[in-house]
């Protein structure tokens, strides 16, 4: 099966790199890293065992890439407007597009642009960063939950799951809405709180006041999910997420890095869409609505300062 990776950063570089290292046919779209990776290869420094791909298939334009059976999209959602041009050269009739992205709503919006496209959601539980060209730093975890949104080709979906497992990635199939909202239980509190408090995950949980607030925010996400009919999620899931975070390496989530490097933050998909869906179900998320307002303030102030 042929893979294409759009967004070869901390997440796309890790999962695409794992597949390529396992001998899968993977083709990477690169931009700023293109020349460096073409000459030097792709390095993944991993807590599970580092590896180097000497001669990866790299491109700086999707029109030069072969059509793929699976396209892994690991772009930030702030760049999803590019997919209207990036995707078509990679697609054949039954291509599956796996969106490894944060937040609520990317699949329905992409489906509107490509009505017949097969889509799935990839929810990565991983601490990974890319701070220099051609090098991914995988700190801990790395499993992925995959929810089928509109893929009618069961064979492709099952092969994708099997290929991840063969590559050493723990992959689990979960119901689509369950996948999205379970990831939001971690993402919504920690992404925004690390920004507004200028702190890493361990610092937030070391303080009783912010730990209590994080837990309350998690319960708001769980309450919203339940109001929307999501199954297999209750307050015990918040306890599991807190425990997992306490055990992991001190971490700055993607939104914190985006803010620190003056890049657009994923407020719409991580916060606004989820809050709006909850409201439509008659459920309010007051703590997270306040966090959304704080993030919008910081985003606008940073935008004005950058003019």
HSE of 287, CA atoms in CB hemisphere, 13 A:
18
Mean pLDDT, all residues of the chain: 96
pTM: predicted TM-score of the whole model, two decimal places: 0.93
| Residue 306 vs residue 22, higher pLDDT | 22
156-168 residue pLDDT tens: 999 999 999 999 9
Lowest-confidence segment of 13-22, 70-79, 123-132, 170-179 by average pLDDT: 123-132
23-48 residue pLDDT tens: 999 999 999 999 999 999 999 999 99
Q: Which residue has the tokens 């499993």?
A: 143
Let me know if domain 2-174 sits in CATH 3.40.50.720.
yes
The pLDDT value given to residue 244: 93
> Same CATH fold, 178-305 and 2-174?
no
Instruction: Report, as an integer, the average pLDDT of 257-267.
Output: 95
Segments in 105-234 forming alpha helices (H):
106-113, 154-166, 176-196, 201-206, 208-227
Let me know if domain 178-305 sits in CATH 3.30.420.40.
no
Query: 231 an active-site residue?
Result: no
The pLDDT value given to residue 131: 78
Catalytic residue among 18, 130, 183, 256: 183
Instruction: Report whether pLDDT(184) > 80.
Output: yes
197-209 residue pLDDT tens: 999 999 999 999 9
51-64 residue pLDDT tens: 999 999 999 999 99
The pLDDT value given to residue 307: 66
Phi, psi of 43 (to 5 degrees): -110, 130
The domain limits of the chain are: 2-174, 178-305
Instruction: Report, as an integer, the average pLDDT of 132-145.
Output: 93
Among 119, 128, 134, 122, CA closest to 163: 122
């Amino acid at each position: 099966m042929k893979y294409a990776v759009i967004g070869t950063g901390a997440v796309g570089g890790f999962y695409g790199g794992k597949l390529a290292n396992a001998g899968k046919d993977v083709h990477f779209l690169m931009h700023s890293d293109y020349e460096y990776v073409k000459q030097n290869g792709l390095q993944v420094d991993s807590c599970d065992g580092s590896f180097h791909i000497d001669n990866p298939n790299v491109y700086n334009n999707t029109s030069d890439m072969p059509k793929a059976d699976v396209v892994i999209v690991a772009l930030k959602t702030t760049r999803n407007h590019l997919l209207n041009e990036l995707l078509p050269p990679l697609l054949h009739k039954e291509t599956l597009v796996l969106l490894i992205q944060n937040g609520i709503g990317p699949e329905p919006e992409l489906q509107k642009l490509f009505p017949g496209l097969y889509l799935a959601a990839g929810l990565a539980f991983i601490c990974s960063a890319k701070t220099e060209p051609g090098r991914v730093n995988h700190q801990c975890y790395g499993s992925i939950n995959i929810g089928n949104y509109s893929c009618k080709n069961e064979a492709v979906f099952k092969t994708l799951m099997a290929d991840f497992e063969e590559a050493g990635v723990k992959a689990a199939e979960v119901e689509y809405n369950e996948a999205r909202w379970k990831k939001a239980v971690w993402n919504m509190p920690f992404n925004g709180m690390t920004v507004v408090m200028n702190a890493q995950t361990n610092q937030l949980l070391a303080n009783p006041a912010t730990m209590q607030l994080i837990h309350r925010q998690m319960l708001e996400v769980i309450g919203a999910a339940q109001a929307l009919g999501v199954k297999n999620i209750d307050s015990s899931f918040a306890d599991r997420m807190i425990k997992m975070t306490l055990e992991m390496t001190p971490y700055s989530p993607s939104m914190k890095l985006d803010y620190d490097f003056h890049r657009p933050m994923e407020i719409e998909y991580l916060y606004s869409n989820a809050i709006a869906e909850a409201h439509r179900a008659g459920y309010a998320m007051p703590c997270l609505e306040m966090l959304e307002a704080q993030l919008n303030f910081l985003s606008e102030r940073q935008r004005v300062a950058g003019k």
